[in-house]
Amino acid sequence: MQDVMSQSTTIFTAWYRPMLARQAGEEHRAASALELFFDLCFVVAVAQASSAFEHELVSGRPGRGLLGYALVFFAIWWAWMNFTWFASAYDTDDVPYRLLTLVQIIGALVMAAGASAALEHGDFAVITWGYVVMRLAMVSQWVRAACTDRERRRSALRYAVGILVLQVAWLVRLAGPVDGGTVTFAVLAVLELAVPVWAERAEGTAWHPQHIAERYGLFTLIVLGESVMAAGLAVGAALETHQRLGAVLPVALGGLLTVFALWWMYFAQDAPRRLRTQRTAMSWGYGHYVVFAAAAAVGAALAVNVAHVTGDRALTDVQAAAVYTVPVALFVTCVWLLHRRAAQVSAAGNVLPPAAAVVVLSLTFAPFSVLGTGVVASLLIAGSVVIARREEEESGS
């Protein structure tokens, strides 16, 4: 009888474990296989949002497409970000944790299914339901944490209550007038952003700087890869129909140079050094909305410019160029701002990124804007490498 009880206890322990906070200074803290799977599923939603954004741009509706893309991407980014920070603080990896993560993945796929309707028709019903499914799963996770982590119970309960109340508000919003949709979305989005600020003012959660930096870096890498894939499909379609190959190749080359430079710039930073306090962590997390959204928009913009040079004239030359130059400039500027205080660079190195962003924006009114952007981005990386090498030599002498 005692052996049976011992075996039952072992099985239960493997199935369910107390959700206790992980150590913020834990060594060899790396992203788990479940987190990587979560990211890959989320990229489906990012790809759908980018594709719908591209469709709106090609159809000659840049204003409506931009607004819809910003709103849809907020839902995707915010749901991803909340899971990421929770998993950094609490990651029991037991059966309930995995099942609740699966529920969030299902919600992400529902969001992906509703991305086109949201951007093209302003219908946020499907994407809202997917978002609510994800967020209610997070409520369950925070309740688990509150039950077992007594030291941080108030923070966990604040997260659970704040998220739950807002999910009810999101569902109520669906019954409201369409004309007030953007206003109510903005209000609820601000309240969503306020929940972590309010919750962390209690005991705070024990997130891991290296783990957070790795998670954000991996998602940036995946989003940039999705941009390359979207651009590659557009270029491939143009090459198959033999449409103005001479015009397509500069766009393809400029896109490749740009994406490579954006990757280099992002991963040249020492992110864990930036994540020292709760305040800097908040600015880091929130600032990545622009980083992720801009990186995903680059792929859609490349596809739009390929269509533009092969004969699709729904946009003017300046509009097609702006669709590409603006997200690139935003990415460069935002990464620079996120790391500016933590990075130990000279005044010259600190001036390069904003100067490059200004030059990229000026290329909106120049011919071959995509290729020019790629060249400027490459020169930014080259200049940064030269300055860094010079500083190393000076410090070693």
Q: Between residues 239 and 365, which one has the greater pLDDT?
A: 365
The model's confidence at residue 325, banded by pLDDT at 50, 70 and 90, is very high
pLDDT reported for residue 207? 87
- Residues 315-350 as b or e (16 or more Cβ within 10 Å = b): beeeebbbbbbbbbbbbbbbbbebbeebeebeeebe
Looking at every residue in the chain, the average pLDDT score rounds to 86
Question: Looking at residues 153-177, what average pLDDT do you find?
Answer: 92
Is residue 325 within 8 Å of 373, Cβ to Cβ?
A: yes
Q: Between residues 104 and 226, which one has the greater pLDDT?
A: 104
The model's confidence at residue 344, banded by pLDDT at 50, 70 and 90, is low
pLDDT reported for residue 345? 60
One-letter amino acid at 344 equals Q
Give just the sign of the alpha carbon dihedral 177, 182, 185, 186. negative
Percent of the chain with pLDDT over 70: 89
One-letter amino acid at 167 equals Q
CB atoms within 10 A of CB 176: 11
The model's confidence at residue 179, banded by pLDDT at 50, 70 and 90, is very low
Is residue 265 within 8 Å of 382, Cβ to Cβ?
A: no
pLDDT(300) > 60: yes
pLDDT(381) > 50: yes
pLDDT reported for residue 20? 73
* R_g of the chain, CA atoms, integer Å: 23
- Residue 113's contacts (CB-CB under 8 Å, 6 or more residues apart) are 48, 126, 130
pLDDT(294) > 90: yes
What does the alpha-carbon distance between residue 283 and residue 271 come to, in Å, rounded to a whole number?
13
Task: List the structure tokens of 212.
Answer: 């957070």
Q: What is the DSSP letter of 94?
A: S
- Residue 249's contacts (CB-CB under 8 Å, 6 or more residues apart) are none
Domain ranges of the chain: 32-200, 209-396
Question: Looking at residues 119-132, what average pLDDT do you find?
Answer: 90
- Residue 116's contacts (CB-CB under 8 Å, 6 or more residues apart) are 48, 51, 52, 55
Question: Looking at residues 44-49, what average pLDDT do you find?
Answer: 90
Predicted confidence (pLDDT) per residue in 52-90, tens digit = 998 898 888 888 889 999 999 999 999 999 999 999 989
What does the alpha-carbon distance between residue 173 and residue 181 come to, in Å, rounded to a whole number?
8
DSSP character string of 229-259: HHHHHHHHHHHHTT--HHHHHHHHHHHHHHH
pLDDT reported for residue 178? 57
pLDDT(375) > 70: yes
Q: Between residues 387 and 2, which one has the greater pLDDT?
A: 387
Predicted confidence (pLDDT) per residue in 128-150, tens digit = 999 999 999 999 999 999 998 88
Question: Looking at residues 226-233, what average pLDDT do you find?
Answer: 76
Predicted confidence (pLDDT) per residue in 236-293, tens digit = 766 676 556 677 888 888 998 999 999 999 998 777 777 878 888 888 899 999 999 9
pLDDT(387) > 90: no
The model's confidence at residue 26, banded by pLDDT at 50, 70 and 90, is confident
Backbone phi, then psi, for 123, in 5-degree steps?
-95, 105
pLDDT reported for residue 389? 84
Predicted confidence (pLDDT) per residue in 301-313, tens digit = 998 998 888 877 7
| Of 59-73, 88-102, 103-117, 172-186, the least confident | 172-186
